[in-house]
Structures are given as C-alpha cells and as structure tokens.
Structure 1
Amino acid sequence: FPARMLLPLLLLPWAWGALAASPPLPTESLALRLLLTSLFPNASAVTVAAKVLLGDLETHALDSRTGAIRFLQPWAQEGLSPREWQDLEQVAAQSLADFVRTVTKIAREQGIDYPFVAQASIGCELRPNGPSRGFYDIAGNGQAVVSFDEEAGTWVARSADGLARYTQDLLNRDWSTSTRLQYFLKVSCIYVLQTFARHGNASLARRERPIAVVFAREPPPTGPPASLLLVCRVTGFYPRTVHVAWLQDGEEVGPGRQLDSTGTLPNADLTYQLRSSLAVGPGDGHSYTCWVEHSSLGGQSLLIPW
C-alpha cells in the first residue's frame, strides 16, 4: 500500500548521498511535507492531486496528467540537478500507479463504497531545540486510518475499525520497506528539507504584519433583544500562524458557544486572513478587545478595543 510508494525513492543513489555536507539548521521549527489527495469515483477511475509544502510555502506540485513536477517558487528547482529531478518524476509516476492499484485492491477486499477519497501526508520536521521528527499519516474520507511510528518502524491503526486494523496488518508485513521508510524519514527527508530551506531562506524569512479592525453586527431592529455580534477581522499577515483572541475586561474569553472563527484563509496576495466573532448579550456592561499575536510583531501584540 502507501509505503510501497517510497521504495523507488529510497533506492535513488543521490538520496543516500553525501549527508555530511548538510546545510545549517533553521532557527525555528520547520516542516517539509508531501500532501497527496486522490479521489476514487469508481473502481476504474481516479483523480490525484499532490503538492509539497516547506513550512507554509507551496514549493512543488505534480501534474497528474503528465507526471511532471511543477516548481512553484523561483528557487524550487535549486539544490537538485536536472537528472535528479528527472529521476523523481519517474519515481512519482511509478509510485502513484502503485498507490492507485493497492488502494483499489483494499477498497475491493474491504467492501468500501465509492466514491471515496484517500489522503496521505508524509514528511519531516526540524526542531532547533529538540530531535527531528518524521511522519507518514494515511486517511480515508477525512478520517485517520494509520500512521507510521518512526521510532518503532511499525504502522499503527488510528481507529478500531476493520479498515484501520486491516491496513495496519498489511503494511506491517513488509518489514523491509518499513526499515527503508525509517531511513527516509530520519535521514533523506531531513537532508532535502535542509537543502530547500537554504535555497528558500528569503521566502521563509518573509514577515507581513497583520491589520486588524473590530466592528459590530447589530441585531434586527424588531423582535426580542438579541446578542450583538462583535467581529475582529485580521488580514494581510504572513506566515500563516497567528493567535487571535477576545479579552473581556482584560481577561481572555475561553472557548464556548459565544465564540466563532473562520479559521485561517488565504488571500490573493499570498498573505492570510481570519475572522473571529464574539456574541455579546445586550447591555452587558463589559469592555471587549481583540488581541492579536503574530511573529511579524516582534514580540508585541495588537490590541483593538470595541
């Protein structure tokens, strides 16, 4: 199954190469991940989307029609030779074909109804103050199925259902591939992450300050008294990670039904936005402030009162 997708990559000569020349570690935690989403409308068709992210940056994508790797950053082709990229394209085509065949087989043997979506996330994370971490997670229709335990070298079911247990047992039969997968996550992936981080350093260092405004949505003028909805719109920030909270009389409002958020969404200019709303009872007499923390603010916070 998905583990077999990596076997050709692990056997590429340059993937085992001169790791002694590794670039320096990043000063912050940084992850490299391949995200694979495959839609199976029926037993004879599949649509695949694959992309690579370095931190929040989309760096590479796979053209599912041609099998060509697309470079989404100006520096994304650096670090590997044209021959190495050609090898990777061949590996990707073979790996995707193996993936589709095996998932189709599992769907048949487990009686999975069509259509369904199979998802995979594989990669590694460098943490400057701790050990590196490798990961490989498999999901179906948005539900976790199995994950690879990098230290133990085994697959672990993420739920108690029959599909997860079947997939775990199937993958754990292939001890040889699991051993190679351990090496890939611990060594090869880390080396590629460091290489991309070195060439993409300027993009990774990019910081855009958030702009925040607070406004209220009034309840309808007719009918019984209703809650006032306070909205904090935060936009234009980069990187993606942000903390937005509400303060009531200077104290953070905890989770509850009165709080809601859109989550972090992309803008057209490659920055991000988020809206957080707070339902306030009519005439409650408290003061409210939107509190924003972001890496671009140099340790300071934005406080926008209502």
Structure 2
Amino acid sequence: MEQHVEPEHWDELTQIGQNSEISGKNYVRIMRNRFNQTHGVYVWQRKFITELLEDGSVRGYQEYGFNGKEVVIFDKERMVYIPTAHEGQLLAQRWNSRRIFAEVDKSYMEEHCVAWLKKYFSYGKDELERKVRPEVRVSDKQSDEATKLHCRVYGFYPRAVDVKWVRNGRDKVLSYEAKQILPHPDGTYQIRVTVEVAPKEGDSYSCHVDHSSLEEMLIIPWEPRRRSSLYIVIGVIAGVAALALTAVLGIFAYKRISAGFSSPPCSSWRSSSPNRYRYFSLYLN
C-alpha cells in the first residue's frame, strides 16, 4: 500500500474519515438518548461489507451499531434500512423517509468500495492468490461412555475450508463444538472439528477435508486403538511376574527351614534379653 497508492487516494480517505467523525458525533448524541445513557464511553460503529463476484456483480450490506450492539442494517438490493434493535427503529424510519440516504450508500458500496477492492487486490495479488495445502492430524479420546474424535487441520491458505467427520463413508456426523477457523502467526489458518461417537462393530469414521489447494478431497481414516489387548498383555505379564516372585520366596523359605534357621517367635523381638540381637542377626543372614 505504501509503495503503490498515490497521494490523492490517501487524501480521499482522509476526507472521508473526517466527515465520518462529524456525523459520528451526532449519532452518538442521538443513540445516547435512545439507550438512556448519561455517562461513560460511547462508540458509534459503521461497517461496510462489499463483495465483488467473478461475474462482475456486487453484493453486500452495511451495519450500524452503538457500543457493540447492532441497531440498523442497510439492505443494498432493496435500498431499505432495517432496525435490528428497538433503539434503532426511529433512526431507520428517519433514513427511509429520505431516499437520498439509500442512494448515497448504495453508490458508495458499488462504486467507491469496488474500485478500492480492485486497486488493493492488484497490489496484493501474489499473496492473496497463493494456495497452501493443509496438514491433517486425527486423534481420539476414549472413555467407557463414548469416544471423542478430533480432526485438526492446519497450515492452509486461503481461509475457506470444509472439514467434517463421516461415518461408514456416507453419513455426516454432526459436531457438538462450534467450528472456528483461527489465524496462525505465519499467515495460514487452522481449525479443529470434534465429534462424540459410540462406535459399533463394523463402523468406520474418517475426516473429510476440502480446500482450494487440493485437487481432490482429503480423506483421513480414524484407526481405533486396541486398548483391551494391551490390558490383557499387561495383566498376563504382571501375573507371571507375581508367580515367579512367589516361587522364589518359597524356595528361599524352604532352604532356610531345611538349614535349621527358622524365624524367631514374635515374643523374641520384644524381649530385653541380649539374645534378641543374636536372633536379629541370624534372621538377616
């Protein structure tokens, strides 16, 4: 932007910002009365969403908000302002009563915003059109009640991606968690999709990933862990070890008894006689 944008463009944006500041102060005063607020910090928000499609058509809308709450939206196609909160009703009525407001906003979105989109896209075309293939990792967390399947997709660009779990190759499994695509510090994106299932004999599960960088959809199967076999092996090893230890102790005790060295009676340990030291030494040897 700094290298390519001409000074006249910066001047135009500066003028728009200054005009917005003036009108914004007026709307803050109006909305304070609507919300019946007399003190604090006030924020008037206006957001433009403009989308230029491949066929050259333009779609989009505008949002108006006060202190983080949306109050009015502008429908560009119908050229009408729609209140989305009780406090925005009078404002929407005022704007709808004067068609010039809708005409200005529609022209702004279809002309100014589209021109800027084309300009900015040409400056960042190499970066915006790059495609990075996603990496996929499948894992699980098993319990007696159910199994949670996790599909982590990361390192992909652009942002748009479709990730879902499928049972037996055809049935989509709904996720109980919201799918959030998160940015990564290296400029790529990541997402994790989790489902909770109760696998039955013969069921198979796989994570399906569709992204513009892929020639065909990625299908990563989930391979269940065989926990029961592992526990059986551990149990057998532990049992063998216990039997071996018992046998060794039995042989040791038998040899001691055969040699005439039986353990002293319990009363001998509590005796004050000097012989208890002899018994103790004999027991250890």
TM-score by length of 1: 0.64
> In the alignment, does 2:25 pair up with 1:108?
no
The 1:84–1:240 alpha-carbon spacing in structure 2 relative to 1, beyond 3 Å, is same
Residues 112-131 of structure 1: CA deviation (Å, up to 9, x unaligned) = 59677654320421112362
Q: Which residue in 2 is equivalent to 1:301?
A: 217
Q: Distance in 2 between matches of 1:266 and 1:177?
A: 37
Contact 1:212 1:234 in 2 (8 A): yes
Counterparts of residues 202-217 of structure 1 (less than 5 Å): 202-217=126-141
User: RMSD in angstroms over aligned alpha carbons?
Assistant: 2.6
User: What secondary structure sits across from 2:213 in the alignment?
Assistant: helix
Q: Which residue in 2 is equivalent to 1:234?
A: 153
Residues 125-181 of structure 1: CA deviation (Å, up to 9, x unaligned) = 1112362113212245665432212234331223xx421312211333443333222
The 1:137–1:208 alpha-carbon spacing in structure 2 relative to 1, beyond 3 Å, is same
Counterparts of residues 63-102 of structure 1 (less than 5 Å): 76-77=1-2, 80-102=5-27
User: What secondary structure sits across from 1:240 in the alignment?
Assistant: coil
The structure carrying a bigger strand percent of its residues is: 1
The 1:104–1:252 alpha-carbon spacing in structure 2 relative to 1, beyond 3 Å, is farther
Q: In the alignment, residue 203 of structure 2 is paired with which amino acid? A: H
Q: In the alignment, residue 162 of structure 1 is paired with which amino acid? A: H
Q: Distance in 1 between matches of 2:197 and 2:42?
A: 41
Q: CA deviation at 1:284?
A: 5.5
Percent identity reads 29
Alignment: residue pair count: 221
Residues 220-274 of structure 1: CA deviation (Å, up to 9, x unaligned) = xxxxx2211110000000111000011100014243xx53244100111011000
Q: Distance in 2 between matches of 1:108 and 1:120?
A: 19
Q: Distance in 2 between matches of 1:104 and 1:110?
A: 10
Q: In the alignment, residue 303 of structure 1 is paired with which amino acid? A: I
Gaps of 5+ in 1: 1-75, 220-224
Bigger shift: residues 136-145 or 200-209: 136-145
Q: Which residue in 1 is equivalent to 2:77?
A: 151
1:201 to 106, 114, 125: 125
Contact 2:209 2:217 in 1 (8 A): yes
Q: Distance in 1 between matches of 2:81 and 2:58?
A: 19
TM-score by length of 2: 0.68
Q: Which residue in 1 is equivalent to 2:59?
A: 133
User: What secondary structure sits across from 1:146 in the alignment?
Assistant: strand
Bigger shift: residues 121-130 or 182-191: 121-130
Q: Distance in 2 between matches of 1:129 and 1:263?
A: 29
> In the alignment, does 2:94 pair up with 1:177?
no
Q: Distance in 2 between matches of 1:227 and 1:119?
A: 46
User: What secondary structure sits across from 2:209 in the alignment?
Assistant: strand
Q: CA deviation at 1:188?
A: 1.9
User: What secondary structure sits across from 1:286 in the alignment?
Assistant: coil
Q: In the alignment, residue 212 of structure 2 is paired with which amino acid? A: S
Between 1 and 2, higher relative CO (CA 8 Å, sep ≥ 6) is seen in: 1
2:209 to 279, 289, 292: 292
Gaps of 5+ in 2: 223-285
Q: Distance in 1 between matches of 2:164 and 2:65?
A: 31
The 1:262–1:106 alpha-carbon spacing in structure 2 relative to 1, beyond 3 Å, is same
Q: CA deviation at 1:218?
A: 2.6
Counterparts of residues 262-277 of structure 1 (less than 5 Å): 262-277=179-194
Counterparts of residues 244-255 of structure 1 (less than 5 Å): 244-255=163-174
2:86 to 162, 165, 170: 162
User: What secondary structure sits across from 2:133 in the alignment?
Assistant: coil
1:260 to 153, 160, 177: 177
Bigger Rg, structure 1 or 2: 2
